[in-house]
């Protein structure tokens, strides 16, 4: 297969929805034993467990120890914005987040923090999502994102709109930052993926909505580059996002995307969910800011079927 066939149109990785998608390189089943001498630009997996897909995918980047060193502090920032259960597709998968916490401690992390600046009540969102229980079961610490004193104003010199946001202290102070969004539709931003998840790092989301949301999402991505973006595309809310309602469509796409390139992984997410790239301005805006590439055909992309 040619890499140019990877993630083409709305058929991308849509095997999970019964449509054949093409990806570059040979398909691997049951695991990844070949790294071809270097880390890939993007890994796309399909399987029955987000946690197990993470374990397989991270090996292609050298394992969790390539990111987390003994004694370091780690922040895992999932989407936990909503007081909704896991089956709704509104928040990141709790099993995935719990597994990541476990692996970080196995690599020698001193502490692992998990937080989000939620839209619904944070206590309820942490609990109903299942993420609090999953994190604490593995020894991680849940931190509220609802305390303004925990945010510090910083300069973002390259930003076009959001030049002085207040950013949560954990993101500014931690050694390692994993960005763990859930892939879904969003009424205002069009798409929730890796970049949109940065709205949970800042205090004043209202400023973003009022000052060119699409540019502000790109600007927010300048705050700090994640060590790895891990996109939960297991249950994908393709309509009615971001919270979901009685008419929302949630598709069992059973997929996971991993990449250091936040633009590339959002591009892959957009194609996976079937949203035209030209309708999601923050992806192109971030590419212009030098945060990554939308040109997936130039990248080393690995597909794994578990």
- The two structure tokens encoding residue 273: 């969910």
Domain count for the chain, please give it.
Answer: 1
Helix ranges, 60-212 (H): 94-106, 122-128, 131-137, 169-173, 205-210
Whether 30 is in a domain gets the answer no
At 147, list the tokens: 């305390």
pTM to 2 decimal places: 0.89
Task: Indicate whether 31 belongs to any domain.
Answer: no
Q: How confident is the model at residue 37 (pLDDT cuts 50, 70, 90)?
A: low
181 falls within a domain: yes
Q: Is residue 57 part of a domain?
A: yes
Range of the domain at 176: 3-24+38-305
Among 293, 274, 299, smallest CA distance to 9 is for 274
Tens digits of residue pLDDT in 49-74: 999 999 999 999 999 999 999 999 99
Nearest alpha-carbon partner for 76 in 140, 159, 161, 158: 140
> Does position 32 have pLDDT exceeding 60, yes or no?
no
CATH of the domain at 63: 3.40.50
**Mean pLDDT calculated for residue range 284-293:** 98
**Residue 243 belongs to some domain of the structure:** yes
Please check whether residue 33 lies inside any domain of the structure. no
Q: Encode pLDDT of 213-270 as tens digits.
A: 999 999 999 999 999 999 999 999 999 999 998 889 999 999 999 999 999 999 999 9
Task: Confirm whether 276 is domain-assigned.
Answer: yes
For residue 37, give every residue at least 6 positions away whose Cβ sits within 8 Å of its Cβ, in sequence order, or none: none
Asked if 208 and 178 touch (Cβ cutoff 8 Å), the reply is no
């Amino acid at each position: 297969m040619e890499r140019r066939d990877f993630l083409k149109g709305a058929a991308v990785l849509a095997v999970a929805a019964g449509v054949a998608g093409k990806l570059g390189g040979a398909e691997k089943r049951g695991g990844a034993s070949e790294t071809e001498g270097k880390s890939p630009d993007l890994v796309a997996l399909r399987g029955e467990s987000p946690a197990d897909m993470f374990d397989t995918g991270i090996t292609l980047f050298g394992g969790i120890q390539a990111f987390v060193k003994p004694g370091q502090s780690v922040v895992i920032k999932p989407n936990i914005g909503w007081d909704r259960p896991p089956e709704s597709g509104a928040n990141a998968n709790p099993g995935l987040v719990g597994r990541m916490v476990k692996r970080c401690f196995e690599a020698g992390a001193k502490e692992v923090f998990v937080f989000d600046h939620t839209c619904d009540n944070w206590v309820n969102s942490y609990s109903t999502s299942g993420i609090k229980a999953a994190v604490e079961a593995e020894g991680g610490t849940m931190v509220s994102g609802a305390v303004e004193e925990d945010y510090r104003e910083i300069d973002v010199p390259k930003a076009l709109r959001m030049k002085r946001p207040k950013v949560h202290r954990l993101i500014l102070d931690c050694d390692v930052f994993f960005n763990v969004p859930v892939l879904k539709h969003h009424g205002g931003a069009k798409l929730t993926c890796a970049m949109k998840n940065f709205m949970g790092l800042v205090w004043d989301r209202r400023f973003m909505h009022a000052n060119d949301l699409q540019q502000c999402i790109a600007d927010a991505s300048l705050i700090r580059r994640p060590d790895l973006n891990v996109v939960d595309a297991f249950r994908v809310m393709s309509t009615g996002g971001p919270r979901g309602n009685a008419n929302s469509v949630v598709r069992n796409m059973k997929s996971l995307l991993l990449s250091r390139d936040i633009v590339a992984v959002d591009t892959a997410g957009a194609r996976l969910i079937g949203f035209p790239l030209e309708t999601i301005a923050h992806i192109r805006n971030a590419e212009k800011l030098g945060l990554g590439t939308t040109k997936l055909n130039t990248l080393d992309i690995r597909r794994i079927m578990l």
